Amino acid sequence: MPKVDTHIREEIDQYQLDRQQKGNLVVLLRLCHEHLDSVNEDLVTRAFKLCCKSHENITRASGEPYYLHPVEVAKIMAEEFNIDDVSVVAALLHDTVEDTSVTLKTIEVLFGSTVMHIIDGLTKIMGVFENRDTKQAETFMKLLLSMADDIRVVLIKFADRLHNMRTISHLPKQKQLNKATETMELYAPLAHRFGLFKIKNELEDLSFKVIDPNSYKFLVRKLREKKEAREIFIDEFMQPITSELGEQKFNFEIKGRPKHIYSIYRKMQMQQKPFEEIYDLFAIRIILEEPHTKEDCWRVYSVITDWYTPIPKRFRDFISVPKANGYQSLHTTVITKQGRKVEVQIRTRKMDYIAEQGLAAHWKYKEGNNSGSNELDKFVHWVRDVLDAPRPDAATEFVKDFQLNLYHDEIYIFTPNGELKTLPNGASCIDFAFEIHSEIGERALAAKVNGKMMPLRQKLKSGDQVEIITGNKINLNPDWMEDVVTHKAKARIRQFIKQKERKIANQGRELWEKRAAKGKIEISDQELTKVAKRFKFNDAQEMFYEIGSGAFGVNELFKRVKQLKSKGRLDDESEDHKKQISEQAPEEYFTTARSVGDGKALLVEGELTNVKYSYANCCNPIPGDNVIGFISRNGDVKIHRSNCKNAHHLIRTDSERIIDVSWARNIDTQFLGGIKVIGEDRVGLVNDLTEVLSKSLQTNMKSINVNSEGGMFEGVITAYVNDLKHLEKIIQKLERVDGIKTVIRYE
Binding span for Mn ion by CB under 5 A among 152-160, 361-369, 391-399, 412-420: 152-160
List the interface residues with Mn ion, window 11-30 (CB under 5 A): none
Task: Tell me the residue nearest to Mn ion as measured from the CB.
Answer: 160
List the interface residues with Mn ion, window 573-612 (CB under 5 A): none
* 95 vs 442 by CB, closer to Mn ion: 95
Whether 99 is catalytic is yes
Give the nearest distance from C-beta 150 to Mn ion in angstroms.
17
* 160 vs 571 by CB, closer to Mn ion: 160
**3-state DSSP percent of the chain in helix, strand and coil, to 5:** 55, 15, 30
DSSP conformational letter for 436: H
Name the strand (E) or helix (H) holding 380. helix 373-388
Q: What are the CB-based long-range contacts (under 8 Å, 24+) for 57-61? A: 60/167, 60/170, 61/167, 61/170, 61/171
Whether 98 is catalytic is yes
**What gap in Å lies between CA 248 and CA 592, rounded to an integer?**
103
* 129 vs 480 by CB, closer to Mn ion: 129
Query: What are the φ and ψ backbone dihedral angles of 334, each rounded to 5 degrees?
Result: -120, 165
Amino acid type, 693: L
Give the nearest distance from C-beta 156 to Mn ion in angstroms.
9
Give the nearest distance from C-beta 100 to Mn ion in angstroms.
12
| C-alpha distances in Å from residue 198, one per residue of 80, 353, 357, 470 | 9, 10, 6, 47
DSSP conformational letter for 29: H
Give the nearest distance from C-beta 373 to Mn ion in angstroms.
35
- For 638, other C-beta atoms within 10 Å of its C-beta total 24
Site string for Mn ion, 157-176 (x = CB under 5 A): ---x----------------
Amino acid type, 227: K
| C-alpha distances in Å from residue 516, one per residue of 510, 528, 548, 579 | 10, 12, 15, 22
List the interface residues with Mn ion, window 84-103 (CB under 5 A): 95
* 58 vs 220 by CB, closer to Mn ion: 58
List the interface residues with Mn ion, window 339-368 (CB under 5 A): none
Binding span for Mn ion by CB under 5 A among 84-92, 156-164, 295-303, 558-566: 156-164
DSSP conformational letter for 289: P
* 58 vs 335 by CB, closer to Mn ion: 58
H helices of 308-372, where? 349-356
Give the nearest distance from C-beta 53 to Mn ion in angstroms.
17
Q: At what angle do helices 554-566 and 487-518 cross, to 10 degrees?
A: 60
Q: What are the CB-based long-range contacts (under 8 Å, 24+) for 217-222? A: 219/261, 219/264, 219/265, 219/275, 220/261, 222/275, 222/279
- State the catalytic residue, choosing from 64, 99, 401, 668: 99
Q: Is 72 in the site for Mn ion (CB under 5 A)?
A: no
Give the nearest distance from C-beta 235 to Mn ion in angstroms.
42
Give the nearest distance from C-beta 302 to Mn ion in angstroms.
49
Q: 411's torsion region: left (phi>0), alpha (psi -120 to 50) or beta?
A: beta
- State the catalytic residue, choosing from 13, 18, 37, 98: 98
- The neighbouring-strand residues paired with 715 are 677, 706
* 122 vs 429 by CB, closer to Mn ion: 122
Give the nearest distance from C-beta 69 to Mn ion in angstroms.
6
Binding span for Mn ion by CB under 5 A among 153-161, 179-187, 200-208, 629-637: 153-161
Number of residues counted as binding Mn ion (CB under 5 A): 2
* 36 vs 90 by CB, closer to Mn ion: 90
Name the strand (E) or helix (H) holding 152. helix 151-166
* 165 vs 354 by CB, closer to Mn ion: 165
Length of the chain (residues): 747
Q: Which residues are catalytic?
A: 98-99
What residues make contact with Mn ion under the rule CB under 5 A? 95, 160
